Structure 1
Amino acid sequence: MAAAHAGHAHDHAHSHVHANSESDRRWLAGALVVIAVFMLAEVFVGIAAGSLALLSDAAHMLTDAASIALALWAIRLAARPAAGRMTFGWKRVEILSAQANGITLLLLSVWLAYEAIRRLIDPPEVTGGLVLGTALVGVVVNLLATWMISRANRTSLNVEGAYQHILTDLFAFIATAIAGVIIVLTGFVRADAIATLVVVVLMLRAGFGLVRASCRIFLEAAPDDLDPTEIGQAMAARDGVVEVHDLHIWEITSGSPALSAHVLVEAGRDCHAVREDLAHWLDHEHHIAHATLQVEHAHPELIALGTPPEPECAEIHGQSHSSPKAVRH
């Protein structure tokens, strides 16, 4: 029996990830400074103008700042090497961060929806000029912050969570600016609350997306772009393979798929060569560099003509796929 892990490019991948993390931290830190400075100014203007849209934008920007700070902390933790009981390191802290960002978006959207509906029913006085001026500055600030975070690695769900916060805030400022124009030109103060409801819809969409994606990783579901059935059948069809079972595909963290499987090899074939072929194919075709393959020879009678072979394990814990070439008496 042979069991091995396909990690031939581990050192190179580790240094590449480390370089990406450093770059991500720089871009996120720059966006954090921009957001924090403008947020403080917007609170004062929002109070002076009596604008819920501006105060809601400021509240959202507070969660933006918190989400970026959380993302920075998660990146720092995720860079720690595997040690002790943390055999995968702290990589899933980034997924916790993304899930927290999604949940805060959902909670904040509920509060803003309540306040917006209340102001639709009983609208207060709103200073349209201050709303418009601040919103236009906010658009510029958020464009800058969005551009900064877009330069980071958005395949990371952690970075994507912070990006979604900033992006929805950008849309919020655009909606608020439109509301400010309407108030200045027509005096229709309910436009402020309507703009807030538009932002709520965007926040709900982004929040649900982040929570769904993070839950899939925590439940160890296969990534959306990797079909376990298709991959298992293709593995079973590789030269020298009789059967693949106990197949599992999951993500350690976003962008880091992993696979494990029990592979039965034709009698007389080199198990190590078959394993190397499968590991190379998985890495090259599906970008699965973390593949743990338990490889052993199938019993000779499994190679004869007849019916497909039955799995040799007493209890199967994953998908099973038989080679079209390997059948039984």
Structure 2
Amino acid sequence: MAHDHHDHSHHHHHGPPADGNFSQAFKWGIVLNLVFVAGEAAGGFWANSSALLSDAGHNLSDVLSLALAWGAALLAQRQAAERYTYGYKGATIQAALLNAALLYLALGFILWDTIDHLRNPAPVNGTVVMGLAGLGIIVNGFTAWLFRHGQKGDVNVRGAYLHMLTDMLVSVGVVVGGALVYFTGWHWLDPAISFVILAVIAVSSWSLLRETVQLGLQAAPAAIEVAAVRRFLLSRPGVTGVHDLHIWPLSTQDTALTAHLVRPGGQNGNVFLRELQHDLLHEFNISHCTVQLEDDLPLMGAHGCCDQQVA
């Protein structure tokens, strides 16, 4: 006869929280970038620079990304409800997906505008371009610095960090482009540099897009090797088989696991589960686990969903 033991870990292990310590970082990042976007867009129109306009468009998408990430982080702090039994942690994944979609949509519009400028080149005020892009290096560099400590703990914070760091590097490129236009008079260099900027943004954002899509599909987090977790479970005392192992993200920070363990004649089930919960958290950063112990034959669900048992 199979014995069912369900253990729900509530010792959540996080990187630095997106709210709390990073609340001020989000505020400063949003305010500084909004002011800079307004100035950069005005300067781009005045200087007739597609490179500045493309950079301003991307910075505007960064403001929206920061706002969405911050809002999702605040929503994730809410307590679980009767219908939302896992709480609202999944909002961070939805925000990351939406941010990725908005980013590439903005890139499409900017690309269209850049092509038009390349077809119809016009004089560019290189001095204004260099001045505003130089200011962008300061604004984006400072904003990236605000998120430097949390960029390894949460994909939302890492996204903010990488966006700002990328923008700082792009601004360096715009300064160089403005200098080239100023000294050579080759106005076609401005839209050409804009193409380079768009390519840099698209390439640098691809890994984030891929990761957020994987999170949205409830794939096991990239940092966790499922085969290693299976081997770990099989190595536990008395365990002879593992099946129905599932690992998925509850949010951009929290990971859940469910598994059936075949443990014939297992004794001290509660002690076993408590130690297992502790080790899963510290070995794999899996903060929420539900484990079912079985004496012998695996219990199959109504739809025959058991995966192949590994003995």
> TM-score, length-normalised on structure 1?
0.86
How far did 1:50 drift?
0.9
Structure 2 residues without counterparts, runs of 5 or longer: none
In the alignment, structure 1 residue 313 sits paired with structure 2 residue 300: yes
Q: How does 1:13-52 map to 2 (within 5 A)?
A: 21-52=19-50
Q: Which letter maps to 2:300?
A: C
Alpha-carbon contact 2:18-2:154 (below 8 Å) kept: no
Q: How does 1:169-184 map to 2 (within 5 A)?
A: 169-184=167-182
In the alignment, structure 1 residue 200 sits paired with structure 2 residue 198: yes
In the alignment, structure 1 residue 147 sits paired with structure 2 residue 145: yes
How far did 1:93 drift?
0.9
> What is the CA–CA distance in structure 1 between the aligned matches of 2:227 and 2:15, rounded to whole Å?
29
How far did 1:108 drift?
1.8
Q: Which residue of 2 aligns with 1:63?
A: 61
Q: How does 1:245-260 map to 2 (within 5 A)?
A: 245-260=243-258
Q: Which letter maps to 1:253?
A: S
Q: How does 1:165-314 map to 2 (within 5 A)?
A: 165-267=163-265, 269-298=267-296, 311-313=298-300
Q: How does 1:40-189 map to 2 (within 5 A)?
A: 40-189=38-187
Q: Which residue of 2 aligns with 1:9?
A: 11
> What is the CA–CA distance in structure 1 between the aligned matches of 2:72 and 2:121, rounded to whole Å?
41
> What is the CA–CA distance in structure 1 between the aligned matches of 2:308 and 2:25, rounded to whole Å?
42
Residues 214 and 43 of structure 1, relative CA distance in 2, 3 Å threshold:
same
Structure 1 residues without counterparts, runs of 5 or longer: 300-310, 323-329
How far did 1:162 drift?
2.7
Secondary structure of the 1:2 match is coil
Q: Deviations over 1:175-231 (max 9, x none)?
A: 111110001110011111122111111221243322211121121111112222222
Q: Deviations over 1:142-185 (max 9, x none)?
A: 11111123244543222233333323322221111111000111
Q: Which letter maps to 1:4?
A: H
Residues 81 and 8 of structure 1, relative CA distance in 2, 3 Å threshold:
closer
Secondary structure of the 1:5 match is coil
How far did 1:17 drift?
7.4
Q: Percent identity?
A: 32
> TM-score, length-normalised on structure 2?
0.90
How far did 1:319 drift?
5.3
> What is the CA–CA distance in structure 2 between the aligned matches of 1:316 and 1:213, rounded to whole Å?
27
Q: Which has the higher contact order (CA 8 A, sep 6+)?
A: 2
Q: Which letter maps to 1:214?
A: T
How far did 1:247 drift?
0.7
> What is the CA–CA distance in structure 1 between the aligned matches of 2:17 and 2:253, rounded to whole Å?
16
How far did 1:126 drift?
0.7
Secondary structure of the 2:60 match is helix
> What is the CA–CA distance in structure 2 between the aligned matches of 1:33 and 1:75, rounded to whole Å?
18
Q: Which letter maps to 2:9?
A: G
> What is the CA–CA distance in structure 1 between the aligned matches of 2:91 and 2:77, rounded to whole Å?
10
Q: Which letter maps to 1:32?
A: I
How far did 1:284 drift?
2.6
